[in-house]
Amino acid sequence: MFEVLTDSFRSAINKIRFSDDEKSLKSALENLKKALLKADVHHKIVRDLLRQVEIETKAKGIGQANFLRSLKTHLTDILTVPGRQGFVFASKPPTTVLMVGLQGSGKTTTTVKLANYLKLKQKKVLVVACDLQRLAAVEQLKQLCSANEIDLYFEDESVNPLAIAKNAMKKAKEGLYDVVLIDTAGRLAIDTELMEQLESIKKEVTPDEVFYVADSMTGQDAVRSAVTFHEKITLSGVILSKFDGDGKGGVALGIAEQTNVPLRFIGVGEKVADLEHFIPDRIVSRLMGEGDLETLAEKTSAIIDEKQAKAMSQKIKKGQFNFNDFLEQMEQMKKLGSMKSLIGMIPGLSSVAGKLQDVDMENSVEMKRIKAMIGSMTRKEREDPELLNNSRKRRIAEGSGLSQVEVNRFLKQFGNAAKMAKKFSGKKGMQDLQNMLAQNKHAHLR
């Protein structure tokens, strides 16, 4: 997302690395200005920001550290809108959220991501299909919800979103749901009919929150339509979708500055797990190419159970890592979301992440083959790779529809990987990494 900005920031910052005088500050500011405008940040925001950074850097003494600190503070200030952060539960359930935005902005995907996020918090969530505009919209929700075991309220025959919303609320109350997420129709552009429909749904369900989903890739257009939606139906939060894309960073600053509605979450990929809290100073760190270890530590610690991780590393050390463990590890990886977004949080690697194609490990041909192979093994074989002699290998090849050469290759790779893991498991490097993550986690919990 912020790659354009991050790269240009670095070049602006480097301008004052060697010669700490007024001339180098001027040229750094000039570079910064170009970077911000290129990233589609509104010119008024740019002007104010530059002025503040200049005054402050001069007052504190021209130098890279002061320049950076000042830039960071002011960017964080712009992104910090007073109000709610993350997901806030109403005092009386169900907490009702209306999801609004233009067509294609990511409403439906984000609705399912939020539902999944709340489900992981042990909440009972009902998603409501109120988009009757697009033919395939209800079908899309049915698939997403069933794949992620999320309850969905829909009416196949109805053409009236208002009635659906009403009936859904009744069901939510009877079913003692904690949260109701209402996915609505979008248009390509704002029109009166759409706004009236949203207004009437809003009146009917009196939601606790109205979340506007903004497509980060659409720059100033997203800012403008956020402003209009806010004028017409009053938003209480903004979610920036497609934050992983190569859109321009200006959209976050623009929406925060021009609507004064707090940014609550960001979508960082197409998978359900790709949703993160919007935390201004962390976003700024990422923006400046410094990574975001806190979010990474939280993500991993929420998914990876410490006890389980220990047990796994014991197994690796003893050379007992088997096929069941392998499948389990793959499941864990899946829950972490996209690789690209994870790598971007590691300091120094954000520019690398931008250049990566996201690997869809789970759906890769290779992974499907491996799953088929493991699927053709008996329980005993999965627990003990040593059992696999030639006749068993032949059977597995037949069962998984693969050649024996392929089965052999996988088994060899698996054996090598297990050996490597065993070799490294005692090494200090792993310990350091674990300590670092643990420290970060505790720092955050304080």
Ligand X SMILES: Nc1nc2c(ncn2[C@@H]2O[C@H](COP(=O)(O)OP(=O)(O)O)[C@@H](O)[C@H]2O)c(=O)[nH]1
For the chain, what is the radius of gyration of the CA atoms? 25
Shortest gap between Cβ of 108 and ligand X (angstroms)? Answer: 3
Using CB under 6 A as the binding rule, the residues of this chain from 366 to 425 that contact ligand X are none
Q: Which is nearer to ligand X, 133 or 167 (CB)?
A: 133
Q: Which residue is nearest to ligand X (CB)?
A: 267
Q: Which is nearer to Mg ion, 107 or 340 (CB)?
A: 107
x/- map, 180-219, ligand X, by CB under 6 A: ------x---------------------------------
Q: Which does 104 bind (CB under 5 to 8 A by kind): Mg ion, ligand X, none?
A: ligand X
Q: How far apart are CA 97 and CA 179, in angstroms?
A: 8
Shortest gap between Cβ of 137 and ligand X (angstroms)? Answer: 7
Q: How far apart are CA 326 and CA 62, in angstroms?
A: 54
Q: Which is nearer to ligand X, 185 or 373 (CB)?
A: 185
Q: How far apart are CA 281 and CA 384, in angstroms?
A: 48
Of the candidate residues 70, 108, 295, 400, the single one contacting ligand X (CB under 6 A):
108
Q: Which is nearer to ligand X, 151 or 244 (CB)?
A: 244
- Other C-beta atoms within 10 Å of 72: how many? 17
x/- map, 265-294, ligand X, by CB under 6 A: --xxxx---x--------------------
Shortest gap between Cβ of 432 and ligand X (angstroms)? Answer: 32
Cα 56 versus chain centre, distance: 34
Q: Binding of ligand X at residue 101 (CB under 6 A)? A: yes
- Burial (0-12, 13-18, 19+ Cβ within 10 Å), 110: buried
CA distances from 50 to 32, 67, 433 (A): 8, 11, 38
Using CB under 6 A as the binding rule, the residues of this chain from 231 to 270 that contact ligand X are 241-242, 244-245, 267-270
Q: Which does 241 bind (CB under 5 to 8 A by kind): ligand X, Mg ion, none?
A: ligand X
Q: Which does 250 bind (CB under 5 to 8 A by kind): ligand X, Mg ion, none?
A: none
Residues written for the chain: 446
Binding site for Mg ion (CB under 5 A): 107-108
Q: Which is nearer to ligand X, 15 or 107 (CB)?
A: 107
Shortest gap between Cβ of 163 and ligand X (angstroms)? Answer: 21
Which window, 48-56, 99-107, 311-319, 401-409, contacts ligand X (CB under 6 A)?
99-107
Shortest gap between Cβ of 263 and Mg ion (angstroms)? Answer: 21
Of the candidate residues 104, 204, 294, 406, the single one contacting ligand X (CB under 6 A):
104
Strand partners, 174: none
Element (H, E) at 128: strand 125-130
CA distances from 277 to 97, 167, 266, 348 (A): 17, 31, 6, 22
**What region, left, alpha or beta, does residue 101 occupy, with left being phi > 0 and alpha being psi -120 to 50 degrees?**
left
Closest CA to 255 of 277, 274, 240: 240
- Other C-beta atoms within 10 Å of 410: how many? 18
Shortest gap between Cβ of 128 and Mg ion (angstroms)? Answer: 12
Q: Which is nearer to ligand X, 106 or 262 (CB)?
A: 106
Of the candidate residues 105, 116, 285, 350, the single one contacting ligand X (CB under 6 A):
105
* Residue 183: half-sphere exposure toward Cβ, Cα within 13 Å: 33
Q: How far apart are CA 314 and CA 319, in angstroms?
A: 9
Q: Which is nearer to ligand X, 104 or 399 (CB)?
A: 104
Q: Binding of ligand X at residue 116 (CB under 6 A)? A: no
* Contact call for residues 154 and 146 (beta carbons, < 8 A): no
Q: Which is nearer to Mg ion, 85 or 158 (CB)?
A: 158
Is there a cis peptide before residue 94, judged by omega within 30 degrees of 0? yes
Closest CA to 339 of 380, 296, 375: 296
Shortest gap between Cβ of 310 and ligand X (angstroms)? Answer: 33
The two three-digit tokens of residue 153, written as one number: 């309220």
Q: Which residues bind ligand X (CB under 6 A)?
A: 101, 103-109, 186, 241-242, 244-245, 267-270, 274
